[in-house]
Amino acid sequence: MNTSGIIQQTIADQSQGPVFSSADFLSAGTRAAVDQALFRLIKAGAIVRVARGLYAAAGQQVDAQTVARALAHKTGERVGLAPSEGTTDVLVVPTSGLSRTVKAGEHTVQFRRMSQRKVQLAASPKGRVLLALWTQGVKNLTTLEIQRATGDWLDGEIDSFAALIPAWLRTAVQQANAKRKSVKIGLSGAYDWSNPNIKDDVLISKVLEKHKFEDVARLCFYFGVPKVKRVFKRRTFEPMTSASVTRMLSNISKGLRASQEQAHA
């Protein structure tokens, strides 16, 4: 079988992938023979040029991501795949090589030189999420944006990226997704909805201000009656609230003592 036939058979088998370069067929003949065979196949309409030095079978649907991978394979540079910017026909690719823009058919691939850490991040879907957050910067990120991007991650999953991301981003993701204290304690309402990192004393004060018995009781079980009483004494409440909380704390204290006495009887 001649060089052109070998190339056509290999393309049909797609053993080299949907996008290929002349270097993929050097086993079929000399470089000159391969280049001539590719030129004849283009003229015959069997293949099309998708970018400089890159080809695909005629009628083959080739997306920007595939072109980016093929270009990286051709040049030997290390790349990752970042989220699309602008339209779906534009792909921004972090690269260890030079920054440049490549037109590939209907697509535009923007190779953007980045640090090795960012290139490694961009090699996986979740890494690309973190890269996008990192790019926004610590001053522009909100807790809600972080939760939307990483809220469904498993506990501790961010730790696998610790060596690739800045410490501020790791901390921000951990804090944004930390289980709220109101959930840990089992409170009936999200007293800490506006501040997931609320201080204990502030949370206790908010709960006492609402003075729902079940929530005050849960506070006492979680933090201990002495701590809840200390916070209560330091705060000034409405007279009715103060009287109600005083009765609650007294009854809860009595109930806890009774249960302890029973346990030791």
Per residue in 156-206, pLDDT (tens digit) is: 899 999 999 999 999 999 888 877 888 888 999 888 887 877 899 999 999
**Closest CA relative to residue 222, chosen from 197, 200, 247:** 200
Phi-psi region of 29 (alpha: psi -120 to 50; beta: other; left: phi over 0): left
Where in the chain is CATH 1.10.10? 3-57
How far is residue 138 CA from its own chain's centroid? 15
pLDDT computed for residue 83 by the predictor: 55
CATH of domain 3-57: 1.10.10
Indicate the angle between helix axes 167-177 and 143-150, nearest 10 degrees: 80
Cα 190 from Cα 206, distance rounded (Å): 10
The string of DSSP codes covering 37-91 is HHHHHHHTTSEEEEETTEEEETT----HHHHHHHHHHHH---B--PPP-SSTTEE
Cα 44 from Cα 62, distance rounded (Å): 20
Scanning the structure block, which residue is given the tokens 């067929």?
A: 25
- Per-residue model confidence as pLDDT tens digits over 57-108: 887 777 777 888 888 888 888 888 655 444 456 778 888 888 888 877 677 8
Cβ-based neighbour number of residue 46 at 10 Å: 18
**Closest CA relative to residue 184, chosen from 173, 195, 192:** 192
Mean pLDDT, the chain, as a whole number?
85
Whether residue 165 contacts residue 150, with contact meaning beta carbons closer than 8 Å, is answered with: no
Cα 118 from Cα 80, distance rounded (Å): 8
Q: Above pLDDT 70, what percent of the chain?
A: 94
Cα 1 from Cα 101, distance rounded (Å): 38
Range in 46-55, 87-96, 121-130, 211-220 with the lowest mean pLDDT = 87-96
Q: Give the Å distances, CA to CA, from 230 to 80, 203, 240.
A: 55, 13, 19
**Closest CA relative to residue 136, chosen from 123, 153, 149:** 149
Question: Could you say which DSSP state residue 179 is in?
Answer: P
- Per-residue model confidence as pLDDT tens digits over 14-33: 655 688 888 888 788 888 88
For residue 157, what are its two tokens? 């999953």
